[in-house]
Amino acid sequence: MIQNAEMIVELFDNGITTKWKDLDGDIDSEHKVFLEGNEKVGIGSAIWGDVSNVMDFANTSKVKITIKYEPIQEEKG
């Protein structure tokens, strides 16, 4: 099993929001808010959820993670 997901992270003065989407369309999207100080836990738990799902489905104890970070430029005007 390969799970392809996309997570959009948006920073605010008091924390972040995450918008997680399964690019294969098999799992419902999730939108969450993490207050300042909980950002690492929030992003980490989302990634761990994906890893755990793949391990359980494929009956394996080893998973490869490929991450690509890219900025999203806000359109002005």
pLDDT beyond 80 at 19: yes
User: Could you tell me the pLDDT band of residue 76, with boundaries at 50, 70 and 90?
Assistant: confident
User: For residue 48, what are its two tokens?
Assistant: 């761990």
pLDDT beyond 90 at 23: yes
Farthest-apart Cα atoms in the chain, separation: 50
Q: CA–CA separation, 35 vs 15, rounded Å?
A: 4
For 15, residues 6+ apart whose C-beta sits below 8 A from its C-beta are 33, 34, 35, 36, 37, 38, 39
The pTM of the full predicted model, rounded to 2 decimals, is 0.84
